[in-house]
Amino acid sequence: MLDFEGPLKRIPKQTVLCVGDLMLDDFVYGEVARISPEAPAPVLQVTKSELMIGGAGNVARNVAGLGARCILVGVIGQDDAAGALTAKLDDEPAIESRLVVDPARPTTRKVRFVSEHHSTHLLRADWEVGQWIEGDTESKVIDAALAALLLATSVVLSDYAKGTLTPRVVRAVIDAAGDLGKPVIVDPKRRDFSVYKGATVITPNAQELAHATRSVLATEDDIICAATEVNRMLGTEAVVVTRSEAGMSLIPRSGEAVHVAAYPVKVRDVSGAGDTVAAVLAVMLAAGARFEPAMRAANAGAAVVVGKRGTAKLSASELRGRILPPAVLAAEEKVVFDWSILDERTAEWRRQGLRIGFTNGCFDILHPGHIKLLAGAHAACDRLIVGLNSDASVRRLKGHERPMQDVHARAEVLAAIEAVDLVVVFEQDTPLDLIRRVRPKVLAKGGDYRREEVVGREIVESDGGEVVLIELLPGFSTTRIVRKSRALQSG
């Protein structure tokens, strides 16, 4: 039996060193409705733009999102893109940035123009220098990486072929990590894999593996043969091959190859999926997972992020929801941890002219009172969103012995109720931030509240919405059930 739970519990104690090509990802969203009168080119009517940390920085974001600490070593220029990038990194408290500034190089920046409705990439514009760093910059990167390595439990080399991972940098990091017994995961981009000799795991996609081994990969047997050759040449312990819609393959140096299918998901954007794979492998191996569960977790993580727009990151809750039994099916359709997915759902419902309702609670032990509340709330709207307190939030509100059930179990039960259209997990003590995000037209609470006591009332009423108080069923409360259960156990 594969052990996922043990490594997942140990992730918060891990520190991952990420060294590689750092970049600023700029996504410009809009729709094309006409051709320019100046030239035969489509005109994108821009609706919004988003700046995101890309490249090695996206690996770091995913590591941090999974609950581990990340030390990020990379190179930036002395320009506006560098300022925007460092500002975004400053907003990531779990990432410690040790960046080397090279005024002679521009900060790598990619601008993607995307059709918002179809999630189709129309054009990409790049600002970059593909030449290797050298001299003082190269020495500073090596010094920063080796100093950080002493604090790390695993290493990711994120190679986008933008010049940071020179042969000298790669060799220094791999050799030092080997001396310390720390796993090194390489996400390669160059065709010559020999520079990565001595790494623990290398994660090429099928095309990169084919180019590196000068092979035609038509079958799974072809993939096994090519990856086995890589293991032999590089001394790697395993090759993990990402195969897009065909899934993922693990070819260890010793043992049988394992092929897993891709999860059936609606793909919105594949940007950064490889970053997520490297990050999940790094944290799982650092936390003591074996290669197969680490690879399966990486496959699950990639399925989550390709369902999001832009250079997306993965959360620990999303990964758990994919690879552990509770809430697997519910999470696919009804349970949301990432509020950007919530934004997409509510936007679609509003386009359809649907009236959105909201209620919230811990829902620790579901009872008939809860069912009446949810049914009454749904009767007042077309789509009901339920805000669900996270485990940490419940502990702060109810005490250290609560919740009785973890957030995945609570979410799964809620998602099975027909009256509930979406379950959104929130970390705060109150749902105020979530209500601001949803902007519901109906805010429902139990009849034990007075209207003026309902959190978020002012927001909803200022938008022309209403507060609905649902009459409670007498005699039902989670606290009462817990007390009764404990009394029976002690008696």
CB atoms near residue 448 (< 10 Å):
12
Instruction: State yes or no: is 222 an active-site residue.
Output: no
Q: Tell me the Ramachandran region of residue 310: left when phi exceeds 0, alpha when psi lies from -120 to 50, beta otherwise.
A: left
Same domain, 391 and 309: no
pLDDT in tens, 183-242: 999 999 988 999 999 999 999 999 999 999 999 999 999 999 999 999 999 999 999 999
The two three-digit tokens of residue 190, written as one number: 């160059």
Domain count, the chain: 2
Residue where a domain stops, chosen among 259, 294, 324: 324
User: Which CA distances in Å does 164 have to 138, 214, 235?
Assistant: 8, 25, 23
* Residues 281 and 257 occupy one common structural domain: yes
Other CB atoms within a 10 A radius of the CB of residue 119 amount to 15
Per the CB < 8 A criterion, the answer to whether 388 and 407 are in contact is yes
| Domain region containing 233 | 5-324
Do 319 and 347 fall into the same domain? no
Q: Residue 2 and residue 241: Cα distance in Å, rounded?
A: 20
Helix (H) or strand (E) holding 161: none
Is the Cβ–Cβ distance between 276 and 305 less than 8 Å? yes
Same domain, 357 and 252: no
Are residues 280 and 189 located together in one domain of the fold?
Answer: yes
Assess whether 315 and 343 both reside in one domain: no
* Residue 164 and residue 108 share a domain: yes
Of 293, 324, 355, the last residue of a domain is: 324
Residues 228 and 109 in one domain: yes
CATH code for the domain of 417: 3.40.50.620
Structure tokens at 189: 């981009």
Q: Are 259 and 220 contacting, i.e. CB atoms less than 8 angstroms apart?
A: yes
**472 exposed, middle or buried (CB, 10 Å; 0-12, 13-18, 19+)?**
middle
pLDDT tens for 444-488 read 998 778 888 899 999 999 999 999 998 876 655 655 655 655 555
pLDDT of residue 143 exceeding 80, the answer is yes
Reported as a single tens digit per residue, the pLDDT across 406-425 is 898 899 889 888 889 999 99
482 found inside a domain: yes
pLDDT at 329: 42
Instruction: State yes or no: pLDDT of 317 exceeds 80.
Output: no
Catalytic residue from among 102, 159, 275, 391? 275
357/133 Cα distance (integer angstroms): 54
Burial of 284 (C-beta count, 10 Å sphere; 0-12/13-18/19+):
buried
Q: Say how far apart CA 313 and CA 60 lie, in whole Å.
A: 9
Longest dimension (CA), the chain: 84
Residue 163 has pLDDT above 50, yes or no: yes
Do 58 and 175 fall into the same domain? yes
Instruction: Specify the CATH number for the domain of residue 160.
Output: 3.40.1190.20
- Amino acid identity of residue 265, one-letter, is V
Q: Are residues 127 and 209 in the same domain?
A: yes
Q: CA nearest 145: which of 108, 100, 95?
A: 100
Average pLDDT value for the chain: 89
pTM across the whole model? 0.69
pLDDT at 182 > cutoff 80: yes
Q: pLDDT digit string (tens) for 7-30?
A: 988 999 999 999 999 999 998 989
- Regarding whether 266 and 154 lie in a shared domain, the answer is yes
User: Do 307 and 389 belong to one domain?
Assistant: no
